[in-house]
Structure 1
Amino acid sequence: MTRALRTTLLILLLTAIAGVGLIVHAWREAHGPAVVRRGSIALPDWPAGAPPITVALASDIHVGGGAMSPARLVRVMDQIAAERPDLALIAGDFIHGHEAQTAHAAAPALTRAFRRLRPPLGTIAVLGNHDNDSDPAGVTAALRRAGVTVLENAAVRRGPLAVGGVGDDYSGHDRLAETARQLRALPGARLLLTHSPDLAPEMPADISLLLAGHTHCGQVVLPLVGALWIPARHGRRYACGIVREGQRTVVVGAGLGTSMLPLRLGAPPDVWLLRLHGTQRPAPRASR
């Protein structure tokens, strides 16, 4: 065996070892606990005298997929519950795949896991494209059995908030104008919850906060290259995290499960804990 051949074989071996190690790391990242991210957002229409609240944002559970077993879903719900948010908002894609039979099989796991989330102001959810493609009625029923409020182009009030749940833009179920109309009829600081963040540029000026998921923050993000694919019309504009554009704030979570391959790299599963409050600073205490 020549020196050149030995060198080539060694390079191939090291490359294979590195590739296997990378896949193992990506598998562990996809199956691990959610990273807890925190942010603080002021809302201009916050009710006078109302204290701040903490909202948990999660999305893209994809139960039934390779990275989200029923047991892991329970663990993740327990992790969120342990943070003791005042309100939980879930931005769609509860189901893995696009088949009705998958949604039917996953329904008991959804109900069992979401019963463990009991924030004081409740849990609100919207459906995602996978839910709409599989069995939206079945997914909705499973969540409602767990006490979750499921919104489809509708709005509700929770504490100091008026929450509008917009249908998924990616699968053509969004009715933004109708949701905004219902939202304006409610007292409270306004926010929108939806699956895909693509409708952000169309938000009315009197609604300043949008919470979404869908992008998985790229799911596989390579050094120097970035995300291999972001399923969004606006590309990287609303790919991940907190995006501020003028008076508008968009928060996009990485999600908890995976799509296609049960792997994550550089985009770990996450849950956002957002402290929402008014724009006015509290008056200083009088000195004694």
Structure 2
Amino acid sequence: MRVLVALVVATLFVAALGYSNAIAEPVVRRAFVGMPDWSDATPPLRIALLSDLHVAGPDMPPQRLAAIVAQVNAQRPDMVLLAGDFVSDKRVATRRYSADEAVAPLGKLAARYGVTAVLGNHDHWRDADAFRRALPAVGVLVLDNQVARRGPLLVAGSDDDFTGHSDVPRLTAAVASARGPVIALSHSPDITPELPESVRLVFAGHTHCGQIRLPWIGAVATMSRHGERYACGLVRDGNRTVIVSAGLGTSLLPLRFGTPPDFWIVTIGPEARQAR
């Protein structure tokens, strides 16, 4: 009996710790990335990357997302990128939110070059068209394998690769006819090796950095066909830089170990500055 009680207590403790980690204040991660075609006359640009919001009870109600939006605005980004998965139908969700309810707090994001988004696998599994309506209604531009100019940058936005909705040839053709620095936004980082060489910076999420990452074992799962290659954080991939966020919410279970929620503030400027 004592062994059973000890196991129950230990299980509850671990669950409470994992939940506490999941609802912790996001870590703000920072990086500078030099772009080879960035003019010295163009001021550096601050980009906020948010991914995997997974709005659902108990860990990410819209009220918590609204508080995170205020934290992002306090960083004064010039541009905000949203890398998909706006909702979650996790196994122990205490409440599911509609697309309109989930994205409503995003209407408060403030950036002079706007807010740009792509969809993720959970958005497709729920109702992709509902998000294609809800996001523009709060001022967010949704890219479906399209390129859009946002200030001095061109943003190439890929639809979700995990559910088979990406179209890299179409995106590549659009990039080929574009002029100026190009960055890519994708829910999953898995399309990175397929992108044209002119895309020197990729923003993504999806992996949650594993969500549960254990000592000596590593990530329980990355949900990436490239394994750990693009699993987490800032990755130097040849001449390309890939930024993969751990995300803000959770999927399947509202637990995190070794992978705190985060969002990124990435400053883009001349490549010569990065060399220094």
TM above 0.5, one fold?
yes
Deviations 1:195-220 (A, max 9, x none): 01111111211211111000011001
Matching of residues 60-99 of structure 1 within 5 Å: 60-97=52-89
Which of 193, 201, 205 matches 1:213? 205
1:138 maps to a residue whose letter is A
Q: Which of 149, 154, 170 is residue 162 of structure 1 equivalent to?
A: 154
Question: Number of aligned pairs?
Answer: 270
Deviations, residues 184-240 of structure 1 (Å, cap 9, x unaligned): 333321110000111111121121111100001100111121111111111111100
Distance in 1 (alpha carbons) for counterparts of 2:175 and 2:41: 21
Cα 1:58–1:188, aligned 2, differ >3 Å: closer, same or farther?
same
Displacement, 1:281?
4.2
**Residues 111, 168 of structure 1: alpha-carbon distance in 2 compared, 3 angstrom cutoff:** closer
Q: Is the contact between residue 66 and residue 258 of structure 1 (CA under 8 Å) also seen in structure 2?
A: no
**Greater CA radius of gyration, 1 or 2?**
1
Counterpart of 1:185 in structure 2 is 177
**Structure 1 counterpart of 2:116:** 124
Distance 2:147 2:67 in 1: 30
**TM-score under structure 2 length normalisation:** 0.91
- Show the 5 A alignment for 1:1-288: 9=2, 16-97=8-89, 105-281=97-273
Offset of residue 65 of structure 1: 4.4
Provide Cα deviations, 1:141-189, integer angstroms capped at 9, x if missing partner: 1111110000000011112211100111111111112112223333321
Task: Kindly provide the amino acid, as one letter, of the partner of residue 35 in structure 1.
Answer: V
Contact 1:157 1:188 in 2 (8 A): no
- Partner SS for 1:74: helix
8 A Cα contact 1:59 1:92, kept in partner: yes
Moved more, 64-73 or 74-83: 64-73
| Deviation at residue 247 of structure 1 after TM alignment | 0.2
Partner of 1:3: none
| Equivalent position SS for 1:237 | coil
Q: For residues 13-48 of structure 1, what are the alpha-carbon distances to aligned partners after superposition, in whole Å with 9 as ceiling and x for unaligned?
A: 555544332221210111122110011111112134
Gapped regions of structure 1 (runs ≥ 5)? 1-7, 99-103, 283-288
Percent of aligned positions with the same letter in both sequences?
43
CA distance in 2, matches of 1:187, 1:50: 15
Q: From the superposition, tell whether residues 51 and 109 of structure 1 become closer, same or farther in structure 2 (CA, over 3 Å).
A: same
What residue identity is the alignment partner of 1:170?
Answer: F
Q: More displaced, 82-91 or 14-23?
A: 14-23
The ranges of structure 1 where at least 4 consecutive aligned residues each deviate by more than 2 angstroms after the TM superposition are 11-22, 104-112, 183-188
Q: Distance in 1 between matches of 2:158 and 2:109?
A: 22
The match for 1:5 is none
Report the 3-state secondary structure (helix = DSSP H, G, I; strand = E; otherwise coil) of the residue aligned with 1:177. helix
- The letter for the 1-side match of 2:118 is V
Q: Secondary structure at the match of 1:89?
A: strand
Write the deviation string for residues 114-161 of structure 1: whole angstroms up to 9, x where unpaired.
111011110000000111121111112111111000000001111221
**CA-CA distance at 1:110 after TM superposition:** 3.2
CA distance 1:111–1:92, change in 2 (3 Å): closer
Query: Taking structure 1 as the reference length, what is the TM-score of the superposition?
Result: 0.88
Cα RMSD (Å) of the superposition?
A: 2.1
Contact 1:191 1:210 in 2 (8 A): yes
Q: Residue 211 of structure 2 contacts residue 256 of structure 2 at CA under 8 Å; is this kept in 1?
A: yes
Contact 2:29/2:264, CA 8 A, preserved across alignment: yes
* Aligned partners of 2:104 and 2:138 also within 8 Å: yes
